Amino acid sequence: SIYEMFGNECCLSTGEVIKVIGFKINKLIASICENNEVSQFSTKVELPLNFPGLYKVVADKTPYVSIEEITRKVSIGPTRFGHPCFYSPEDMKLANLTIKRGEQITFNSVEEVNGTMAVNCGVVRNNQSHFFTLPLSQEGKFYECEDDQIYTLKEIAEWKIPKCRNRTVKLSNTLHMCDSSNPLPENFDGCLILTPVYEVQAVMKFRKDIVHILSDLDVEVKDITDSYDISSFIQPLSLEDVFERTSKEFPVVAEIMEGPSGSKKPSSLLYTGKYQATRVLASEIRSDSPKRHFLIPMSYKGKFKRRPREFPTAYDLEIARSEKEQLHVVATKAFDSLHKELFSVSVGDQFLVQQCQTSEVLYEGRRKLVDVLACEQILSNTYKKVLLPMYMEGGFVEVIHDKKQYQLSEICKEFRLPFNVKVSVRDLSIDEDVLVAVPGLQFEEEITDSYLLISSASSPVESWEVPVYRLNMSVHLLNKDIQTVVPPVTKTTVEEISEEQYYMVRRYENQTLHPPPRPPKKPT
């Protein structure tokens, strides 16, 4: 029969040899679960992986009977999504450690240890991490731990649905979509039981692209892996696969098998190298959503002028304070102090921020030390020393005296991020500078990202960067002689990223960092 699959005509005839290179979840069938119960009469809806919303994963109540079963059915990988947590209802005695019943065990990776496959695990006790290995042969009952994180449906499909099991999730936030296109009941806040429909990815001997076959297609196949020379097939590689090759293996010539939707497929590309590059993550300053997000290369040649920052509390003023210049702010919200020793703020009051210190206040008849922010209030022709409580919830806007124009690298070197700017001189080296039209930008943080350098194989005059982890592309390497050429000039561009990519970038960048300390609480 001839099937039309994802716009690719694919002939699956008797005797055709297909090499399966992977499979992934294509869509989800969701059973709507009212009152956390499901029955054969429950409504079922089909959800695409890009269906909006954030979801909490409900822990599976069915235990796993061995470590081997967990590694076979649960995704364990290098990102924080791939670190599932389990507990045992019984104590487990190991060589140098006893895992107590109910203690959360984090599964980090699977590798061979002394000739035996094992899982690298960890537990946290008194803020100290303890690491150990569990062999795949370890048996017992292992239950999933509760997960307090929230995920997109796509993340759940990729990491949080065990093989041969369903997954129950609970909607965590409201959906931003019109009611007519929302298949879920109005004001739904129950659970969904997700059943995956898989898509098989395969290559065929006389085709250069990847074939996608839904798992419910009525085709009978026979496994002939042990009796067939699979080296005769094209070997598809992802950009991650290419990036993992050693630097000595570059340059290489590759042909695109499958690229981003809507992109043209050039005949062949020259991959000249790979590297880690620094980018500044920036977001548009605006009160409503959605905001635009950008990754700006350090080579950006435009110039910026400062824009005022806003600070919701006195604690934020202390965080933003720097030795380089004195912070000058105007109050935008009134605040009445509970203590006569501390200052009450009116809208329009101006302050020069000095330093954090402690001060004695009278509290319920007793003297008590509290954290305060020492400032100078600017009056018409003098300055008055005042103390603001650190817990103060007010509002302040920065007063900018600096009229200088800065390069991106200067801002990153001289100031602490986040930092507000506007483009004052566009980058003349590029045809269209997308940042010029943005009324204000907040530089949020510097990130390090992985890039491949690619060029046209036929005329490698210039090369451009391809982000390894944000571009879905499959290629296969061509056995072509490559003349040693002078490395082409690399073009770097400002990359506008989607809301989902923005949160992914921030999440990966910050997964090893601790959150900032919380501001002091207001006394009751």
pLDDT in tens, 399-448: 999 899 999 999 998 888 888 999 999 998 888 899 998 989 999 999 88
Same-domain check for residues 337 and 470: no
Q: In what order do the strands lie in the sheet with 328-331?
A: 310-313, 393-398, 328-331, 350-363, 366-378, 383-389
- 3-state secondary structure at position 139: strand
Same-domain check for residues 50 and 168: yes
Same-domain check for residues 428 and 346: no
Q: What is the pLDDT of residue 301?
A: 92
Same-domain check for residues 385 and 420: no
User: 238 lies in a domain?
Assistant: no
Domain end marker among 398, 417, 442: 398
Q: How far apart are CA 14 and CA 219, in angstroms?
A: 10
pLDDT in tens, 55-113: 889 999 999 999 999 999 998 877 777 899 999 999 998 888 899 999 999 999 888 88
Same-domain check for residues 451 and 498: yes
Same-domain check for residues 148 and 290: no
Answer yes or no: are the C-beta atoms of 182 and 13 closer than 8 Å. no
Answer yes or no: are the C-beta atoms of 136 and 66 closer than 8 Å. yes
Calculated CA dihedral for residues 162, 167, 172, 175, nearest 10 degrees: 100
Q: Which residue has the higher pLDDT, 1 or 415?
A: 415
Q: What is the DSSP letter of 291?
A: P
On the question of pLDDT at 524 being above 60, the answer is: no
Same-domain check for residues 82 and 185: yes
Q: What is the pLDDT of residue 141?
A: 93
Same-domain check for residues 474 and 461: yes
Q: What is the pLDDT of residue 2?
A: 54
On the question of pLDDT at 500 being above 60, the answer is: yes
Q: Which residue has the higher pLDDT, 496 or 288?
A: 496
Q: What is the CATH number of the domain that holds 355?
A: 2.30.30.40
Instruction: Retrieve residue 431's tokens.
Output: 């045809």
pLDDT in tens, 372-403: 889 999 998 899 999 988 877 778 999 999 89
| Mean pLDDT across 120-133 | 90
User: 26 lies in a domain?
Assistant: yes
Answer yes or no: are the C-beta atoms of 388 and 343 closer than 8 Å. yes
Bridge partners (DSSP) listed for residue 112? 117
452 sits in which H/E element = strand 441-456
Weakest-pLDDT range from 157-161, 175-179, 323-327, 396-400: 175-179
User: 249 lies in a domain?
Assistant: no
260 burial level (CB within 10 Å; 0-12, 13-18, 19+): exposed
Same-domain check for residues 474 and 428: yes
**Number of domains composing the chain:** 3
373 burial level (CB within 10 Å; 0-12, 13-18, 19+): buried
In terms of Cα–Cα distance, which of 149, 182, 163 is closest to 47?
182
In terms of Cα–Cα distance, which of 88, 80, 61 is closest to 193?
61
Same-domain check for residues 283 and 334: no
Bridge partners (DSSP) listed for residue 125? 128
User: Which residues fall within 8 angstroms of residue 396, CB to CB, at 6 or more apart?
Assistant: 310, 311, 316, 317, 329, 330, 331, 332, 351
User: 263 lies in a domain?
Assistant: no
Amino acid at 97: L
User: 99 lies in a domain?
Assistant: yes
Domain ranges, residue 354: 310-398
On the question of pLDDT at 467 being above 80, the answer is: yes
454 burial level (CB within 10 Å; 0-12, 13-18, 19+): buried
Q: How far apart are CA 413 and CA 404, in angstroms?
A: 15
Same-domain check for residues 123 and 184: yes
User: 336 lies in a domain?
Assistant: yes
pLDDT in tens, 284-339: 998 776 789 999 999 999 999 999 998 888 888 888 888 788 899 999 988 888 78
User: Which residues fall within 8 angstroms of residue 251, CB to CB, at 6 or more apart?
Assistant: 270, 271, 272, 273, 482
User: 215 lies in a domain?
Assistant: no
Same-domain check for residues 342 and 476: no
Give 349's pLDDT tier (boundaries 50, 70, 90).
very high
Domain end marker among 152, 169, 199: 199
Domain end marker among 172, 199, 226: 199
User: Which residues fall within 8 angstroms of residue 55, CB to CB, at 6 or more apart?
Assistant: 150, 151, 152, 153, 156, 169, 170, 171, 172, 192
User: 407 lies in a domain?
Assistant: yes
